[in-house]
């Protein structure tokens, strides 16, 4: 059912949101009514009712771009996955859509479109809108973990960086993609017998996902080696529209790209430096594609890389399938079966010289639900870099390739509930170690902590009904949660 409740079906539903709309789901807030934000958010329950909020402004939905108010469905889909994959109770989640207008002219010209029919509002008014939402959510639901989803490139990282120091929040496009990719890399390095501190990585496509992957790799290298983040960033070469990112590109670089711009003195001449030139010079262990440029990992590039390392690690991660940088079957053939693979979309197994191997999928659902579960159960004040690295290590430890190098670098999504338990356990332990956990009574014993997490995960099992008197009924049992509760109290 995964392709039905999430990608690719969810993308089609988002694109057709206004046409298929029947009833509202989630909380809709619009930039024209900033004064109503607190009131509208307050309709969803009491302070103790909400654990997990997913919010989007719908500007950069994966593979389909600006979808305006239809973006609410991506918030809903992510919450479905947190329930399915990590057992976070659906009644304790809240999907939020921020309508700031849309730059999608097709939507604006559609009479059925339900959102604001003007170009996206930016600048000070947008900043005030985001701030009003965040502060209202924190005041109304002080224990809630906030997950930012599919914000546009100019805003995603900036918003995350603004709020990370003061609250437990997460951006799946920046951090989730980076975490699951890093876990696959770590498994690949284990197979290829390469130390993380020695790794050289080339990332083709330095947008939100690409720089997010770079950040997680940098932070892991810094954590493991004791190097500064600046030194760790020197292990990474990013290639984007102007070629290899260099300091001379100046204003062409956004803040997320700046840490990875190389010194001009490292490269001769003033021409743009293409991917093949970077591969020839750097001789990387890892090549990652987040470019949405189909076929950009050519046979020449792949064979050049394979000539320098015994087990090239190559991840064409762009979604959907039509935008992948290379077909896994070609990568397997061009490297004589030596490539260590992971992709952004599902692909069939690859065969070479009679040997068939499954292709690992870098699916964010393997990691973000478990991180969220750990943050929610520990009531973490912040989501730190070390907590993310702990999550990555826990996911990497579940890699089938650790036991058999011929098997995939990442576990199958069918095993995600167990994977989420292990990730949550690592996140909780790290939160406790850093003094960021505020929940009392977290077990210290490994086995007890495991059980403590499992018993708090909701399971979709029908429980027997029993009649209770109103005097002893919970708010949930008496129908007083969320909107129903507000209506009853009014």
Tell me, yes or no, whether 314 and 409 share the same domain: yes
Contacts of 79 (CB under 8 A, 6+ apart): 52, 54, 88, 90, 93, 94, 95
Tell me, yes or no, whether 273 and 137 share the same domain: no
Tell me, yes or no, whether 190 and 134 share the same domain: no
Contacts of 62 (CB under 8 A, 6+ apart): 7, 11, 150, 173, 319
pLDDT tens sequence across 183-236: 999 999 999 999 999 999 999 999 888 999 999 999 999 988 899 999 999 999
Neighbours of 372 (CB within 10 A): 32
**The pLDDT of residue 488:** 40
Residue ending a domain, choose from 99, 116, 151: 151
Neighbours of 252 (CB within 10 A): 13
What's the domain count of the chain? 2
Question: For residue 486, is it within any domain?
Answer: no
Question: For residue 203, is it within any domain?
Answer: yes
**The pLDDT of residue 4:** 86
Rounded to whole angstroms, the maximal C-alpha distance in the chain is: 81
Annotated binding site: 149-150, 173, 319, 363
Tell me, yes or no, whether 391 and 433 share the same domain: yes
Question: For residue 474, is it within any domain?
Answer: no
**The pLDDT of residue 489:** 42
6 catalytic per annotation: yes
Distance of alpha carbon 66 from alpha carbon 74, whole angstroms: 12
Tell me, yes or no, whether 121 and 191 share the same domain: no
Contact assessment for residue 42 and residue 88, using Cβ atoms and an 8 Å cutoff = no
Annotated binding site for (S)-malate: 319, 363
Tell me, yes or no, whether 359 and 437 share the same domain: yes
Start-to-end CA distance of the chain, whole Å, equals 39
- Comparing CA positions, the residue from 267, 217, 221, 260 lying closest to residue 240 is 260
Question: For residue 90, is it within any domain?
Answer: yes
Annotated binding site for a divalent metal cation: 149-150, 173
pLDDT tens sequence across 25-72: 999 999 999 999 999 999 999 999 999 999 999 999 877 899 999 999
**Active site residue: 2, 38, 78, 229, which one?**
78
Tell me, yes or no, whether 145 and 178 share the same domain: no
Contact assessment for residue 219 and residue 389, using Cβ atoms and an 8 Å cutoff = yes
Which domain CATH number covers 199? 3.40.50.720
**Positions in the chain short of pLDDT 70:** 270, 481-490
Distance of alpha carbon 84 from alpha carbon 88, whole angstroms: 8
Question: For residue 266, is it within any domain?
Answer: yes
- For 66, the domain range is 2-151
**The pLDDT of residue 482:** 57
Distance of alpha carbon 125 from alpha carbon 145, whole angstroms: 25
Question: For residue 488, is it within any domain?
Answer: no
Question: For residue 465, is it within any domain?
Answer: no
Tell me, yes or no, whether 65 and 189 share the same domain: no
Tell me, yes or no, whether 313 and 364 share the same domain: yes
Tell me, yes or no, whether 28 and 83 share the same domain: yes
Question: For residue 490, is it within any domain?
Answer: no
Give this prediction's pTM: 0.89
Contact assessment for residue 366 and residue 392, using Cβ atoms and an 8 Å cutoff = no
Which domain CATH number covers 116? 3.40.50.10380
Tell me, yes or no, whether 212 and 142 share the same domain: no
Tell me, yes or no, whether 74 and 185 share the same domain: no
């Amino acid at each position: 059912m995964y392709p039905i409740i999430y990608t690719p079906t969810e993308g089609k539903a988002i694109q057709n949101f206004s046409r298929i709309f029947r009833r509202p789901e989630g909380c809709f807030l619009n930039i024209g009514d900033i004064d109503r934000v607190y009131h509208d958010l307050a309709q969803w329950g009491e302070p103790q009712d909400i654990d997990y909020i997913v919010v989007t402004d719908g500007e950069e939905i994966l593979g389909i771009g600006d979808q305006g108010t239809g973006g609410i469905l991506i918030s809903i889909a992510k919450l479905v996955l947190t329930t399915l994959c990590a057992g976070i109770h659906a009644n304790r989640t809240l999907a939020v859509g921020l309508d700031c207008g849309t730059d999608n002219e097709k939507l604006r010209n559609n009479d059925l479109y339900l959102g604001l029919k003007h170009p996206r509002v930016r600048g000070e008014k947008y900043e005030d809108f985001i701030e009003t939402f965040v502060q209202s959510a924190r005041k109304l639901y002080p224990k809630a973990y906030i997950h930012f989803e599919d914000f546009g490139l100019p805003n995603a990282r900036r918003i995350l960086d603004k709020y990370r120091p003061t609250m437990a929040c997460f951006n799946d496009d920046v951090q989730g993609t980076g975490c699951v990719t890093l876990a696959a890399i770590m498994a690949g390095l284990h197979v290829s017998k390469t130390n993380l501190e020695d790794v050289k990585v080339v990332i083709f496509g330095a947008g939100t996902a690409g720089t997010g992957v770079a950040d997680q790799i940098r932070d892991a290298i810094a954590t493991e080696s004791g190097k500064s983040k600046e030194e760790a960033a020197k292990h990474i070469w990013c290639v984007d529209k102007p070629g290899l990112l260099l300091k001379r590109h100046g204003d062409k670089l956004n803040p997320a790209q700046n840490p990875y711009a190389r010194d001009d003195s490292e490269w001769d001449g003033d021409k743009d430096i293409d991917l093949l030139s970077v591969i020839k010079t750097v001789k990387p262990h890892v090549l990652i594609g987040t470019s949405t440029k189909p076929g950009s990992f050519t046979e020449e590039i792949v064979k050049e890389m394979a000539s320098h390392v015994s087990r090239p690690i190559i991840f064409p991660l762009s979604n959907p399938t039509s935008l992948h940088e290379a077909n896994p079957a070609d990568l397997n053939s061009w490297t004589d079966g030596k490539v260590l693979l992971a992709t952004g979309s599902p692909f069939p197994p690859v065969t070479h010289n009679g040997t068939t191997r499954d292709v690992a999928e870098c699916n964010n659902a393997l990691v973000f639900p478990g991180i969220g579960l750990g943050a929610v159960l520990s009531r973490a004040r912040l989501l730190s870099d070390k907590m993310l690295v702990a999550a990555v290590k826990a996911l990497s430890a579940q890699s089938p390739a650790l036991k058999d190098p011929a098997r995939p670098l990442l576990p199958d999504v069918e095993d995600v509930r167990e994977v989420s338990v292990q990730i949550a356990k690592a996140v909780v332990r790290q939160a406790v170690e850093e003094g960021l956990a505020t929940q009392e009574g977290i077990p210290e014993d490994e086995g007890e902590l495991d059980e403590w997490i499992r018993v708090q995960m909701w399971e979709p099992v029908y429980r027997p009904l029993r009649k209770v008197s109103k005097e002893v009924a919970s708010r949930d049992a008496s129908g007083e949660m969320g909107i129903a509760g507000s209506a009853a109290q009014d």
